[in-house]
Amino acid sequence: MSIQPRQPIGKLLMSLNRRILYLILIVVSTVPLFFQIKVPDKPDDSTIDMYSKLMSLPEGSTVLLSTGWTYSTRGENKGQFDAILKILMRRHIKAALFSISDVTAPKVAIEEITELNMERQKEGKKPYQRWSDWVSLGFFPNGDGTANAMSVSLVKAFEGKQEVAPNGSVENVFNSPVLKGHDSISSIPLLIGVESTSATTTYIQKLGGKVPIVFAVTGVMGPEALPYYSSGQVSGLAIGLKGALDLETLMQYGINNPGPNGVVMVPSQHHAGVVPGFPNDKNYGTGLAYFPTLHVSLALLILAVLVGNIGMYMQRRGW
Amino acid sequence: MSYQNYLVYRMGAGVLATIGFYSVLYRENKFYRFFEHMYIGLAVGYSIVALWTETLHDLWWHRMLGAHAVPGANGVPGQPATNAHWAWMLLLPIGLLGYTVFNKKYNWLSRIPIGMIIGFNAGQQIQIWFNQYGPQMKDSMRPIFPTTIKSFFVPDTLHMATKQAAEVKNTVYASQAINNFLFVLTLTCVLSYFLFSFDVKSKVLRGMNTLGRWLLMVGFGAIFGSTVAMRFTLVIDRMYFIFIEFLKQGVFHR
């Protein structure tokens, strides 16, 4: 029997089977989900501004809600979208839903509203009603043209769009309580974009300065959207999973808002004044559920990078 | 079948598809190919139907044919008749010309709709450019010298009177000035990196050029980090969908 020469450690580390790494990643991305691990969260200024903007909207007003996400970015956008919708629902703010990014996005958004309505009904609250509280304007394939038309006239931009009224008849969306009287973009207090694409840039280019804008974007889109926040082109910005958790935290504690024990959980020097939260409601969702697991996964990544570099160094040295 | 059961079955299909897609991580296999083709088929089918229901019907067909008046009922106001605009019909042949791109003999015709689109967009570029970059250029003009030496950091305004807080807001503190200086330095160095039109001989400019390249790398690194975090979140979401939503809350909680 021949004795196999022992492989150098460097070579062993560099020849680690990628399937083992995938398996470790899946285990690491799953196990923490079963435990309630608390990770402290200090909301970013950009998300604080977004929350305060949403909370300053007059009750009963109508916002334009652009949805550009589907299941491919559900990990980040679902948490953001749910948080925004919960605020709109609780503050009785109406929403006109549309998309210029993805043909399936309005369908995904409608399913999300249905899910949140089921939650509201379980809690004994009035559901967010289609037609009277929200309408779906559908998908617009020519984003540039649509945003351009919106800047001129909402009636022209959404002409021909219909919804089913409570009496069963198919009606023009401008007959609904949501869009009635909103002929011009200037009558809309806020455009909210929950996006995973560069639709954000389209809105800035075509509607910048004509309507206040806030965005909730994926981590990939964050660096592209940040200059818009920094320069004041958007009034608020939630980025990635952290943005989703920030919104949930702000819903729970408010801004500069003393809790029952007198302690301010989210103090902000950036935002003057007190903005209340919704401490008696169910505020946390996927933002809180995923955030600790993300930390564990990132720790694995850092470890893998270290092991890879050490392995490469050792291999070069022949160790 | 109750709605809850329907949701669990529907999620089950989603779980199968997720496992099918992830199975490629082990190796290329027929299970993965099946779900890949199913996904493409569904996406194309959905897009074709949505093209008509969401776009062509409302934005073209409806406008071309007009509508009869609808009387109001049950508190919902009626709507007046709208005229038919037959000129919208002209858009169909113009749009179809785009498909001649697949024919060698007639592909020059596809340039007509493309030219129209380019023409429409080109006319708007000045306004678009300024809307996007104008406020950012204005924001780049930041003060790099402090206006007070009373405090290095910005004082806590939480418990200040409104007038005092406003005064703090209008003052540039040393810590802010340093931040602004770093911003302006980064901006200038990165811009100087893109000076390709002439040979850079000045030592100062070359130094700025190199620093600009390093700062760009730092920026790209931060963007890459953000991208990686996002990809991890997608995996976590799929695992949450399989183990928590489907198994824990769906199958074992019925």
Write out chain A residues lying below 8 Å of B165, CB-based: 272
**First CA to last CA across chain B, in angstroms?**
13
Measured CA to CA, the distance from residue B56 to residue A250 in angstroms comes to 41
Distance from CA of A87 to the nearest CA of B (A): 23
pTM: 0.90
Angle of helix A45-55 relative to helix A240-253, nearest 10 degrees, comes to 50
Q: How confident is the model at residue A244 (pLDDT cuts 50, 70, 90)?
A: very high
- Return the SS3 of B191: helix
Average pLDDT over chain B, rounded to an integer: 89
CB distance A57 to A189 below 8 Å: yes
A9 has pLDDT over 90: no
Measured CA to CA, the distance from residue B59 to residue A156 in angstroms comes to 10
User: Which pairs from A278-283 meet CB under 8 Å and 24+ separation?
Assistant: A278/A86, A278/A90, A278/A251, A278/A252, A279/A252, A279/A253, A279/A254, A281/A86, A281/A90, A281/A123, A281/A251, A282/A119, A282/A123, A283/A83, A283/A86, A283/A248, A283/A251, A283/A252
Q: Which of A269, A270, A295 to mutate to test the interface with B (most CBs of B within 10 A)?
A: A269
- pLDDT score at B123: 84
- Return the SS3 of B68: coil
**What ipTM goes with this model?**
0.91
A160 and B62: CB-CB below 8 Å? Answer: yes
Q: Which of A34, A72, A201, A297 to mutate to test the interface with B (most CBs of B within 10 A)?
A: A297
Measured CA to CA, the distance from residue A233 to residue B138 in angstroms comes to 11
Q: How confident is the model at residue A3 (pLDDT cuts 50, 70, 90)?
A: low
Domain ranges of chain B: 142-254
Task: Supply φ then ψ for residue B70, to 5 degrees.
Answer: -115, 120
Task: Kindly state the tokens that stand for B110.
Answer: 């596809």
B58 and A161: CB-CB below 8 Å? Answer: yes
Task: Supply φ then ψ for residue A66, to 5 degrees.
Answer: -90, 125
Nearest CA to A154 out of A182, A194, A124 is that of A182
A26 and B232: CB-CB below 8 Å? Answer: no
Q: Which of A20, A72, A74, A274 to mutate to test the interface with B (most CBs of B within 10 A)?
A: A74
B73 and A167: CB-CB below 8 Å? Answer: yes
A231 and B222: CB-CB below 8 Å? Answer: no
Task: Kindly state the tokens that stand for A10.
Answer: 């460097």
CB distance A243 to A286 below 8 Å: no
**3-class secondary structure per residue, B130-186:** HHHHHHHHHHHCCCCCCCCCCCCCCCCCCCCCHHHHHHHHCCCCHHHHHHHHHHHHH
A204 has pLDDT over 70: yes
- pLDDT score at B181: 96
Nearest CA to A142 out of B112, B56, B206 is that of B56
Residues 122-181 of B with CB under 8 A from A: 124, 128, 131-132, 135-136, 138-139, 154, 156-158, 162, 165
Task: Kindly state the tokens that stand for A225.
Answer: 């959207």
State mean pLDDT over A26-30.
95
- A159: nearest CA in chain B? B59
A75 and B58: CB-CB below 8 Å? Answer: no
Nearest CA to A241 out of A10, A44, A19 is that of A44
pLDDT tens profile A254-287:
999 998 888 999 998 888 789 999 999 999 999 9
Measured CA to CA, the distance from residue A319 to residue B146 in angstroms comes to 55
Measured CA to CA, the distance from residue A234 to residue A229 in angstroms comes to 5
B46 and A103: CB-CB below 8 Å? Answer: yes
State mean pLDDT over A139-152.
91
Asked if B234 reaches chain A (Cβ–Cβ under 8 Å), the answer is yes
Distance from CA of B120 to the nearest CA of A (A): 9
Measured CA to CA, the distance from residue A246 to residue A230 in angstroms comes to 18
Q: Which of A172, A255, A296, A305 to mutate to test the interface with B (most CBs of B within 10 A)?
A: A172
- B211 to B86, B178, B188, B202: CA distances (angstroms): 61, 18, 10, 14
**First CA to last CA across chain A, in angstroms?**
26
pLDDT, one tens digit for every residue, chain B (254 residues)? 688 888 899 999 999 999 999 999 999 999 999 999 999 999 999 989 988 888 888 888 888 998 777 776 666 666 677 788 899 999 999 999 999 999 999 999 999 999 998 988 888 888 899 999 999 999 999 999 999 988 899 888 777 787 888 888 889 999 999 999 999 999 999 998 888 777 778 889 889 999 999 999 999 999 999 999 999 999 999 999 999 999 999 998 86
Nearest CA to A65 out of A209, A214, A206 is that of A214
Write out chain B residues lying below 8 Å of A272, CB-based: 157, 162, 165
- B127: nearest CA in chain A? A205
Measured CA to CA, the distance from residue A101 to residue A89 in angstroms comes to 24
Within A145-244, strands assigned E span 162-164, 170-172, 191-195, 213-217, 236-239
Check residues B194 and A45 and name the one with the higher pLDDT: A45
Residues 6+ apart with CB under 8 A from A304: A21
Within A236-289, strands assigned E span 236-239
Nearest CB to B47: which of A103, A208, A218?
Answer: A103
Nearest CB to A230: which of B139, B158, B238?
Answer: B139
pLDDT tens profile A50-82:
999 999 999 999 999 999 999 999 999 999 999
Average pLDDT over chain A, rounded to an integer: 92
Task: Kindly state the tokens that stand for A276.
Answer: 């209340």
